[in-house]
Amino acid sequence: MNTPFSKLASPLLNIPVLKASCAGCSLHQLCLPMGLDNADMGRLDQIIGRGQRISRDQRLYRMGDPFKNLYAIRFGHFKTCHMSNGGEEQITGFQMAGELLGMDAISSDHHHCDAIALEDSEVCEIPFSRLEELFSHIPTLLHHFHRIMSQEITRDQNVMLLLGNMRAEQRFAAFLVNLSSRYLARGYSSTSFQFRMSREDIGNYLGLTIESISRLLSSFRVKGWISVDKREIHILDLPKLKEIALGSELAMMTKKDCKPVAPAIAKT
């Protein structure tokens, strides 16, 4: 295992200080420094602050906190929770290693949501003002940063699609497929992984109740598409899940084997 944080002895306090290094990090092709040459990556390393350990259930930042840093997740998982003024909370996303936290705060200089660790995790602190200084010297970095922000927008809009259009089964399938592909991109198994979040979190994220999630898990299990043991899940029929996630008409067709003649993608 590579150790992307080198432990330096703090001269005064004699406690280990975590010093991040993009160059030594296995995620640099997924994360902010993507596409940078060694020289530029070095410059980025210079501004990146000390790493932070965040233990399970701890908040990296809270809604209303002043905005200073973006955070790149080194390892671990987070959820971001928005609170409506009425007090109900909505989980707007689950983030994993290599992803950036805090971009929602740029617009108003304070955070709009809570970021909560789902397990013991570690993040790199990226002072945003220094990052902005760097942008004028490294156009590649700027461009990539814009891609990341834009990606976040696209992702959110896909969730809107999910919440606005899909029925429970489809939402849940889409959720599983999404997790699956993100683990794949990180070099993990796309078919066997653990839920880092509770059923309640999943339900909240998908706009469903905890009971519905439970029932969906059971139903998918009975149908032979997955096997579950607590938070351990094995996807047994990924193509089927993708089909369900993709949606409705097409899935209905194949399910009922009806009218394979007429073009399935008829206008709605």
184 binds, among a copy of itself, DNA, none (CB under 5 to 8 A by kind): none
Partner from DNA, a copy of itself, none contacting 113, C-beta within 5 to 8 A by type: a copy of itself
By CB under 7 A, the residues from 41 to 70 that bind DNA are none
The entry of DNA, a copy of itself, none near residue 156 (CB within 5 to 8 angstroms by kind) is a copy of itself
CA distances 127 to 132, 147, 190, Å, are 9, 19, 33
Contacts of DNA in 190-209 (CB under 7 A): 198-200, 207-209
Minimum separation from the CB atom of position 179 to DNA (A): 15
Judged by CB, which is closer to DNA: 68, or 82?
A: 82
Sign of the torsion angle spanned by Cα atoms 157, 163, 164, 170: positive
Site membership for DNA, residue 238 (CB under 7 A): no
Of 116, 113, 1, whose CA–CA distance to 54 is shortest? 116
The stretch near DNA (CB under 7 A) out of 6-14, 43-51, 145-153, 214-222 is 214-222
Q: Which stretch binds DNA (CB under 7 A): 89-97, 119-127, 135-143, 228-236?
A: 228-236
Token pair belonging to 215 = 């029932």
255 in contact with DNA (CB under 7 A): no
The listed partner (DNA, a copy of itself, none) that binds 157, CB under 5 to 8 Å by sort, is a copy of itself
A 10 A CB-CB count for 61 gives 21
Residue 230 φ/ψ region, left for φ over 0, alpha for ψ in the -120 to 50 degree band, beta for the rest: left
Contact call for residue 167 and DNA (CB under 7 A): yes
Give the residues lining the site for a copy of itself (CB under 8 A): 82, 84-90, 92, 103-108, 112-113, 132, 135-136, 139, 142-143, 146-154, 156-161, 163-166, 204-207, 246-251, 265-268
Cβ-count burial of 140 within 10 angstroms (0-12 exposed, 13-18 middle, 19+ buried)?
Answer: middle
Q: How far is residue 57's CA from residue 81's CA, in Å, rounded to a whole number? A: 12
Per-residue three-class SS string for 16-42: EEEEECCCCCCCCCCCCCCCCCHHHHH
Give the Cα separation of 202 and 88 in Å (integer).
Answer: 15
46 binds, among a copy of itself, DNA, none (CB under 5 to 8 A by kind): none
Name the minimum Å distance from CB 90 to DNA: 13
CA distance 118 to 99: 14
Q: Which residues bind DNA (CB under 7 A)?
A: 167-169, 198-200, 207-215, 217-218, 228, 230-231
